[in-house]
Structure 1
C-alpha cells in the first residue's frame, strides 16, 4: 500500500514525469533555436600579391590568401612572403578552398613537410629535426598533407570552419623552416575561402624559430 508522499497528477502519473518531459522539450527548443543563430566568424581582406625581397633572419608576418576559386591552387612562398603567380615561380604552400598542402612528396620538386606541434605558437622556438609529413597524391588527384588537412573544426549548427588551436611547423621547399597558425577561413561578409595565416619564417637555414 502506497502512502500519499508521492505526488501524482493527471490520472496518477508522477509529477516528475511532467517535469522531465518539459525539460526535454526545453532542450530541444534550445537546440533548434541554436541552429538558426549563425555567429559572425573572424574575417580578413585578402593580401595583394606582392613578392618581397629575401630576408636573412627571422621574420613574423600575417597574410590572407585568396583561395576562393576551387578550380585552381594558389601558391605561397615564405621566402617572398607572398602568394606567387603559379608554381613555376617557386612555392612552399598551395591552397585550394580549405585544402592546404606543402611542396614535398612523390612528384613534387620541393623538400617540404609539415608537422603539428600541439604547443602554443609563442612557445615554439625550434623546429623539430624529424617527423615531417609530405604531400600525398598529385595536385590533379586531390592531394593532402597529413597533419594539415584537418586544421579545422566544423560547426554542426553554424556550418562554419573554425581553426583548431594548433601550431604547425613547415619545412619549406628549400629545406628552411617556419611556424604557422591558421587564424581564419573567411573573407568579409563571411565568404569562405580566404585563409589567414600568422607565421614566423627563419630564412637563415637554421631550425631556430625566434627572433
Structure 2
C-alpha cells in the first residue's frame, strides 16, 4: 500500500524485453537504501517487486499485463519515473490510500501555467469517470492529486511548485501518457451499493 507522495524522481537505466515480459533497471538512490529482494516499489504508480539491488539501482520484472495496462511499456533508457516505497503502518497518510494497481492510462490534454502552479487537464477512460468527483482523489503516475473538475471524459488537477519540480508531471507535455488509479474507497462503495441493490431486488422478487 502506498500514499501517492512521491519520494524520489528516478531514472530508467535499461529495459530488456524478453518475449511477453521485460526487466526494468531503475536508478533511485533513496528508495534503494533499504530495498531488498521481494520488496515493493511503486514506479509511476505501478507496484513492482524488487528482484535485485545493486548500488543505487534495482531491477524489477514487468509482465505483458503490466506493460499493456500501464504506460511502462512506452518508457526507455533515460526516462524519469516517480518512485515511492510502501507506507509503514506507523507513517502519516499524507496523500490517500494507493494500491499501485493501475486502472487505466490517460493522456495529457493541456497545461495552463499560472503564477506559481499549473492546471493540467487529462483524458479519462470512460470506465473510470464514475469514480471521480470534484475535490476527490486520483492517482496520476503514482502522485496523489485532488481533482479540480471531473468530467465525463477528462479531469483537471492543479500542480503546486513542489509537484512540478519533484515529479514527472513537471515535465509531461500534451500527448504524453499517464497511469491512473481511482480512489479504492470509491470502488468499495460501488461494490457495496451494487451488492445491496441486487439483494433488495432478489428479496422483492415474488418468484
TM over 0.5: no
- Structure number with larger C-alpha Rg: 1
Q: TM-score w.r.t. structure 1 length?
A: 0.28
Q: TM-score w.r.t. structure 2 length?
A: 0.28
- The structure with more strand, counted as a fraction of residues: 2
